[in-house]
Structures are given as C-alpha cells and as structure tokens.
Amino acid sequence: MSKMILSIMFLSFVCFSQTPEILSVDISRLDPATAEKMRNLNDENLIEKKIQRYGKWVGLGKEVGTAAREGLSALSDESNKFAETKVGKYVMFIIAFKILGYPITQLIVGLLIFFIGTTIFVIYFLREGISKRYITKETVKDGVTEKVYGMTNTGSNALYSFLLYVALVLICIAIIFIH
C-alpha cells in the first residue's frame, strides 16, 4: 500500500514538473547536430534575455535621470523666482547670516579689539615704557649752563606693558579662531 502511494506521488511530481514550453532532455543522448543547435539556441535565448533585461534597466535609468533633471530644473527656477522677491532676499540674508554670521562676528570683534588694544599699547609704551631723560640739576657758571640729567626707571613698566600686549594678542587670537 505504501509503495503504491509513493509511486502515485512520484508520478504526480513527474507529470506536473513538465510544462509545454520547457522540456528537459539530456544533451548527451541527442545527435551532435541537434545538440549543437540546442546549445546555440540556449545561448541565443540567454543573450536575448540579458539584452531585454539590460534594456529595461537602461530605460529605467533614463527615466529616473529625466525625472531628476526636470525636478531639479523646476526647483532651481522656483528658488530663483523666490530669491528675487523681498521676502526671498530677506530669507537668503538670514540663511547666509546663520551660516557665516558667527565667524564674521568673531573676526570683526577680534580685529577691532586688536587694533584698539595695539593703539592703546603704542600710546602707553611711548609715554611710560621708554626711559626718558629729565634735568635733575641746572647750574650756570661763568655764562655757561650746565645741566645734570637723570633717567626715569621704567624697565618694569616696559615689561608689564609688553606682557599685557602679549595677553591682548592671545585673547584676540582666541576670539577670532576658537569657535
């Protein structure tokens, strides 16, 4: 009984596995001319299928490229029209300021502090940082004026002003370059 069920199952499997378009034949059992025709036919069918498949992909790629080009051209046209309006110009300014505003502000503030600080440093250094001569004693003998000069002791002032200037330069560099 089990052999009969197995044979029915095997027969049904064999019968339903064959379709009218596909026939499975061992090529070694065919005569050489027919086997060669089958191989060529198989190769031609394979090449035709590949050409058709690649043609579909090429067509799809062309359609996607055309759609992307049209979409981007429409987007650029509309954005150009929008940029010409007052609101568009304001929005473009806001976007540019959002991207470049903080670095430009850093640069302007840092350079402003640097130039003002350098001016103050030069004025202070010329007044207080350089040792100056001053008259300590002036005597007149026989019509000749004799002057005795002394020097101001400003070596420490020059050092402190130079250190303050170095600190100013470092602060300006930090303002400009550190985000």
Tens digits of residue pLDDT in 91-114? 888 888 888 888 888 999 999 999
* Mean pLDDT score of the chain: 78
Say whether 138 sits in a helix, a strand or coil. strand
Token pair, residue 164, equals: 């303050």
Please, are residues 110 and 175 in contact by the beta-carbon 8 Å criterion? yes
138 vs 5, more confident:
138
Taking a C-beta distance cutoff of 8 angstroms, is the pair 136, 148 a contact?
Answer: yes
Please check whether residues 109 and 58 belong to one and the same domain: no
From 10-14, 44-48, 147-151, the region with the lowest mean pLDDT = 10-14
13, pLDDT greater than 60 = no
**121 and 158 both lie in a single domain:** yes
Q: Do 120 and 156 sit in the same domain of this protein?
A: yes
Domain that holds residue 175: 102-179
Tell me, yes or no, whether 109 and 160 share the same domain: yes
Six-digit token string for 101 = 């505003």
Neighbour tally for 30: CB within 10 Å: 13
The number of angstroms, rounded, from the C-alpha of 95 to the middle of its chain's C-alpha atoms is 17
Q: Tell whether 116 and 170 lie within a shared domain.
A: yes
Residues 123 and 64 in one domain: no
Residue 87, phi then psi, degrees to nearest 5:
-65, -40
Q: Does any domain span residue 148?
A: yes
- The reported pTM is 0.45
In a domain, 113, yes or no: yes
Torsion of CA 105, 111, 115, 116, to 10 degrees: 30
Which DSSP helix (H) or strand (E) runs through 145? strand 144-151
Q: How many domains does the chain have?
A: 2
